[in-house]
Structure 1
Amino acid sequence: MTATDEERRALERQRTVEITTIGRRSGQPRRIETWRYLAAGRFWLTGSPGSRDWYANVVAHPGFTLHLHDRDVRVRGRPVTDAGERTEILGEIVPELDWAGSLESWLAGSPLVEIEFG
C-alpha cells in the first residue's frame, strides 16, 4: 500500500506531527510530538544531534503511527545510516533551519528516518 494523495497532502500541510512508537524495551506505546521534514520529495524525521528514544524504538520496531490532524496513519520508519544518503538528505534539511548549527554536527549525531507509507 502506498500513501494516498490525500495522506501525502495532509502530511505536507502539517510540519509538527505526533508519532506513536513501540518501546524497544517495554513494548508499550510511546507517543511524542516532533517535526517532519521534506527532502528529495520524501518525508523524514530527524532532530538536533543527540540520542532519541523514538529513534531507538523505530530501529527496534519500524512500524509506527503517524498522527495527523484528521487521521492516524500506519507507516514504517527506515533508519538511514548510509553516509552518502545522510549527507544528501541532511544537506537539504539543515541549511533551511536557521537554528540548526553545523551540517557536520547533524551528520555525526542526528537520527534520520524516512517515513514510508505502507
Structure 2
Amino acid sequence: MTPGIEQALAHDRVIDITTIGRKTGEARRIEIWFHRIDGRYYITGTPGARSWYANLLVNPDFTFHLKESTQADLAAHATPVEGPEKQRVLEAIVASIASSRLTLDADTSPLVEVTWADAA
C-alpha cells in the first residue's frame, strides 16, 4: 500500500463501502465508519438489522472507498466477528470513540473484520 493509503487507514474514520445486494445482485454504496483496533480493521453499526451486513454475509467481497485524507478504492473481504472476540472489539470501539451516546451490543450490533484482497 502507498504511504497515503497507510496514513488514511491509520487516521481517517469515514469511508464508503460498496457491497453486492444479496437479493438484487446490484452494487450498493453507503457511507459508514471504520475502526482500527490492535492493528486490525473493523466495520460495525448500531444495533439492529443492517442491509450492508446482510449483503456481506452473502457476498463478503466488497470495495472499501477511502475518501477523507486520500481517495482510493480498496478490494476488501469481510469476515463476521462473533463470540468473546466480538464483545472485546465492540468495547474497544466504544472506548476509542469516547461518546456516551454510542451504544453497541454484542448480541445485535453487526461487526465484520476487514482484510485486503491483495494481502494474501
TM-score tier by shorter-chain length is 0.7 to 0.9
**CA offsets, 1:39-60, max 9 Å, x none?**
1221100011111000000000
Asked if 1:91 corresponds to 2:96, the answer is no
Matches of 1:8 and 1:64, distance apart in 2: 19
> For structure 1, which runs of at least 5 residues remain unmatched after alignment?
none
Q: How many residues align?
A: 111
**CA offsets, 1:50-91, max 9 Å, x none?**
11000000000000001113211110011112x111122112
**CA offsets, 1:4-29, max 9 Å, x none?**
25333222232000000000010000
**TM-score of the aligned structures, taking structure 1 as reference length:** 0.86
Q: Percent identity?
A: 39
Cα deviation for residue 32 of structure 1 reads: 0.1
Counterpart residue number, 1:100:
102
Please tell me the root mean square deviation across aligned C-alpha atoms, in Å. Answer: 1.4
Q: What is the one-letter code of the residue matched to 2:65? A: H
Match of 1:41 among 22, 39, 42: 39
**TM-score of the aligned structures, taking structure 2 as reference length:** 0.85
Counterpart residue number, 2:116:
117
